[in-house]
Structure 1
């Protein structure tokens, strides 16, 4: 039975491809179809049907190909629901077409026999590929979430963007201390312009970071304090008296230069 189905799909592959793509554009997620180019969608669809044939023939290559395919569809944005719908659509299409040629045979039970384990196996591999992708993305984001950037000799800036939770605060502290040592900074500016909310917890983490910075012999400044943030801090009774603060990064850098016995001067157009 399985070999019959595999042979039938292979012999009518082009017809299956066109009909399957047309049906998926109707029953599948339109955003998935539109997100990829026609060429990429077609190529991935070919691999998808080839994978089904491999499973039917019980090929040793199926598991290897399945891993590669799962990684690829995760990267191009095929959700698992789209993959499952694709399998179900292909199964129904194959069953309907084969029944036309051999109407006396009842393939339904046998179709369920190979469809169900294949669906389960693909879902499992998809889930594993998704977890790996998310894990790698999380690591990449963590590496970029709190960089210490040297802007002048002995002066560094750490720009913060987005919300700050306990885990991210720990990462900020770690990156901050390592960055100060690495760049031999005497002054570091923590820029919170991109932090939407500064509550008691966020302020506590910032104060802890500033205290840790002082312990390694560096001065910490907090810049990018917007009026609404300043009002929130006052309302919450947050004390930042031990930390130098400015409203924007430009003013902060000017102060940092003063701390390192330098200053910004205007240069006339003729160079004098």
Structure 2
């Protein structure tokens, strides 16, 4: 009697044991947040898919389609691999208890028969989805790098680099590269580095910022550090960090005003200007 037929003939007992085993893993295979009702219904669908695959001469398409569906819904791959491993163990152990009902020679190769179906399937799923995840992670890493140190031209000669989050050595290198390339590309006279969103400024972070500012100065532009909150100012003083070589401002607004002055511009209140013109016209009319 073949393994397939043995499993199908004893499907009720194997399914019951499999359901008990898979239920016990709910809290350990990253599915603890899934409701009990959904978990149970998915388990039943999963075991039905396994038996469908066995009935179809070991075809793995049903399992692959099911795996793709639930992984796209956010289920972990470990749920699939654990389920297949449990099926292998449960079916083998159960059939071994029935050894008196079948030819004993069959059980010599029973484990190999199960492995020949389960192992390649698990390997294929792991390879497929690990490759997909690596590709996705790679794309996300590139996207994050592009967003982690943007240089934004806001006016002719003036650009701003808003920094958010922790600055480590790798990101500091990216900041330096983007600053220099962007300042040259946009022909910047003034570059504002906004650290409002940087939670901690320690010696290392300050060192990287100073290096970036010095690099900008060497290509003929002025660097203004903005977003100096009181607690950061105190930290900088306590650490003895020297920021005297380039301007610092408490807010982006003040830094931008300074940038306008450096580039020979100033902000004019249009309402005041219009009122002055009206007064001048009134005076000319003798009113």
What is the TM-score with the length of structure 1 in the denominator? 0.71
Task: Give how far 1:209 is off.
Answer: 0.6
State whether residues 53 and 60 of structure 2, in contact with CA within 8 Å, keep that contact through their aligned partners in structure 1. no
**Structure 2 matches for 1:49-88, cutoff 5 A?**
49=49, 53=53, 57=57, 73=71, 76-88=73-85
Which residue in 2 is equivalent to 1:172?
175
Counterpart of 1:210 in 2: which secondary structure?
helix
State whether residues 188 and 220 of structure 1, in contact with CA within 8 Å, keep that contact through their aligned partners in structure 2. yes
Equivalent in 132, 151, 156 of residue 154 of structure 2: 151
- 5+ long unaligned stretches in structure 1: none
How many residues in Structure 1 have an aligned counterpart in Structure 2? Answer: 257
Task: Give how far 1:70 is off.
Answer: 6.6
Structure possessing the higher radius of gyration over alpha carbons: 2
Task: Give how far 1:171 is off.
Answer: 0.6
Which residue in 2 is equivalent to 1:200?
203
Q: Is the alpha carbon distance of 1:127 and 1:58 closer, same or farther for their aligned partners in structure 2, counting shifts above 3 Å? A: same
Q: Is the alpha carbon distance of 1:91 and 1:193 closer, same or farther for their aligned partners in structure 2, counting shifts above 3 Å? A: same
Name the Cα RMSD after superposition. 4.5
- 5+ long unaligned stretches in structure 2: 276-287
The range that moved more, 87-96 or 115-124, is 87-96
CA distance in 2, matches of 1:5, 1:271: 94
State whether residues 189 and 221 of structure 1, in contact with CA within 8 Å, keep that contact through their aligned partners in structure 2. yes
Equivalent in 258, 263, 266 of residue 266 of structure 2: 263
What is the TM-score with the length of structure 2 in the denominator? 0.68
**Structure 2 matches for 1:244-263, cutoff 5 A?**
244-263=247-266
Deviation track 1:142-174 (CA, whole Å, cap 9, x = no partner) reads 111100011222211101111111111111111
CA distance in 2, matches of 1:23, 1:271: 81
Deviation track 1:179-222 (CA, whole Å, cap 9, x = no partner) reads 11222221110011111111111111111111111122211010
- Asked if 1:162 corresponds to 2:159, the answer is no
Equivalent in 228, 234, 238 of residue 231 of structure 2: 228
Task: Give how far 1:2 is off.
Answer: 7.3
Task: Give how far 1:86 is off.
Answer: 3.5
State whether residues 194 and 225 of structure 2, in contact with CA within 8 Å, keep that contact through their aligned partners in structure 1. yes
